[in-house]
Amino acid sequence: MVAKAQKSLWKSAWKLLLEGQNSPKLPYGTPVVSTVSATGIPYSRVMVLRGASKVEGELLCYTDRRSLKVSHLKQGGGFMAWTFWSPTQQLQFSCSGPTTELPERVCRKTFLDLPKHSRKAYAALSRPGTRLTEPSDGLPDDWTDRPMNQTDYAEVNFLVLKTKITRAEILQLNREGNRRLLVERNVQENWDFQWLVP
């Protein structure tokens, strides 16, 4: 039987995740997301949480399909790890799971709904991480003057990634005693809860 305190902690974390979607100013809006290279080197970066589904136990982010993280997913095990921290709630949520690309038609629809300033992140002429001799944003020189339809070319770079959480940990800091909870997805697609030593 799942203890009430375990369920309550899980619920608190999901409340923060749901609030954090598309809200980079909120603590859970900009998680640190990690991938591992084919040679086993870990890479972490901040991303914006673009979607969270408590029912499915899934998280979404947007990225450039030419980026390093996408190569890591293809070459490595296809897993991503996410870490969130709320200083007000003193709650760390970390999770990982297999991460896949949403279908092309979904990516296309999502991209076409993006305003021009958001398209910028996917519109660099060379892939993110390309070495430069001078500092540059990588965008076409006339980006600012371009009408919306001349930014459509970036659609091919735009990708929505979905992590199906298979393992999560919640760490609740508290002066009277920290609590650490492990949550794992079982074969029946339900969650198993287990207290851990913090």
Ligand X SMILES: Cc1cc2nc3c(=O)[nH]c(=O)nc-3n(C[C@H](O)[C@H](O)[C@H](O)COP(=O)(O)O)c2cc1C
Q: Please give the residue ranges that form the binding site for ligand X (CB under 6 A).
A: 24, 30, 43, 45-48, 61-64, 67-69, 128-129
How many C-beta neighbours within 10 Å does residue 50 have? 18
* Three-state DSSP class for residue 158: strand
Our CB check for ligand X shows the closer of 9 and 114 to be: 114
C-beta separation of 144 from 167 below 8 A: no
* Three-state DSSP class for residue 11: helix
Q: DSSP letter string over 52-95?
A: EETTTTEEEEEEETTSHHHHHHHHS-SEEEEEEEETTTTEEEEE
Our CB check for ligand X shows the closer of 69 and 183 to be: 69
Q: Compute the least distance from the CB of residue 150 to ligand X, in Å.
A: 22
Q: Compute the least distance from the CB of residue 101 to ligand X, in Å.
A: 13
Our CB check for ligand X shows the closer of 30 and 53 to be: 30
Tell me how far apart the alpha carbons of residues 165 and 189 are, in angstroms, rounded to a whole number.
11
Q: Compute the least distance from the CB of residue 58 to ligand X, in Å.
A: 16
The alpha carbon of residue 55 and the mean position of all alpha carbons in its chain are separated, in whole angstroms, by: 17
Our CB check for ligand X shows the closer of 45 and 109 to be: 45
Q: Compute the least distance from the CB of residue 27 to ligand X, in Å.
A: 12
Our CB check for ligand X shows the closer of 6 and 157 to be: 157
Our CB check for ligand X shows the closer of 61 and 154 to be: 61
Helix (H) or strand (E) holding 99: strand 91-101
Q: Compute the least distance from the CB of residue 53 to ligand X, in Å.
A: 17
Q: Compute the least distance from the CB of residue 65 to ligand X, in Å.
A: 10
Sign of the alpha-carbon dihedral angle for 85, 52, 2, 88? positive
Taking alpha carbons only, the member of 191, 158, 195 closest to residue 180 is: 195
